[in-house]
A and B are shown apart, each in its own frame.
Chain A
């Protein structure tokens, strides 16, 4: 059974930093393209970015509002995905999900809440 468990969320002041983790199990992590999606309170889903598998080049892409502030990385030896968030703004307040958005299947974690407020 695929499991994705996010952690690291919490309250942070504007301009601060936070690192989220996503522990994966139940599938071959090093072959998977991993994605971060966020959802602001009461709002829709927003794709944050994706990291390809190393065998597919390891390319990382980001949505425009977070490019230059957020960094996605992975540690295949630990089956873990990361999201380093810097220069946080109030509009980054959201539940952050890690997910595998495949061609014919998708698995999501339960999300971790990040609140940016003074």
Chain B
């Protein structure tokens, strides 16, 4: 089955840059989406189609892709960015979706 692997945790000081990677075990040519989830809340989309930002999402959130690894970058991290982040994509046919293992971002 298709898998997406993320680091379990990332720690960053306020104002610094956090980078969260999402590594696929195969190149599927499917887009990657990123979700932010705070405790007790539903996930919120922060990046779609690898690098596009939905309206209302701060410019400090950006996405990039290289080979089988995609990266979510949070520039100038703020305390409110402390949350779990999940990448999401699909298998090569686009039929079965999969979420990454999740990364907890801690703002020191």
Contact with A45, one of B44, B86, B96 (Cβ below 8 angstroms)? B86
Say yes or no: B43 contacts A108, CB within 8 Å. Answer: yes
| In the complex, chain B residues 38-81 whose Cβ is within 8 Å of any chain A Cβ | 42-45, 48-49, 52, 54
Cβ contact within 8 Å between B96 and A61: yes
Chain B residues, CB < 8 A from A103? 31, 48-49
Question: Which residues of A line the B interface, CB within 8 A?
Answer: 35, 37, 44-47, 50, 61, 63-64, 97, 101, 103-106, 108-111
Enumerate chain B interface residues (CB-CB to A < 8 A). Answer: 1, 31, 33, 35, 37, 42-45, 48-49, 52, 54, 84, 86, 88, 95-102
Whether the Cβ atoms of A104 and B96 lie closer than 8 Å is: no
Interface pair A97/B48, CB less than 8 Å apart: no
- The minimal Cβ–Cβ distance linking B49 to chain A, given in whole angstroms, is 7
Decide: A104 near B54, CB < 8 A? Known: A44-B101, A47-B97: yes
Can you pick out 6 interface pairs between chain A and chain B where the beta carbons lie within 8 Å of each other?
A45-B43, A97-B43, A104-B54, A108-B43, A110-B42, A111-B42
Majority SS at the chain B contact face: strand
Contact with A104, one of B48, B99, B100 (Cβ below 8 angstroms): B48
Contact B98 A47 (CB under 8 A): yes
Q: Which of A37, A97, A105, A109 touches B45 (beta carbons < 8 Å)?
A: A105
Interface centre among B45, B52, B54, B98 (most CB of A within 10 A): B45
- Looking at the assembled complex, report how far the CB atom of A23 sits from the nearest CB atom of chain B, in whole angstroms: 15
Task: Tell me whether B102 and A45 are in contact (CB under 8 A).
Answer: yes
Q: Which residues of A contact B54 (CB under 8 A)?
A: 104-105
Residue of B nearest to A64 (CB): B1
Whether B99 contacts A47 by the Cβ 8 Å rule is: yes
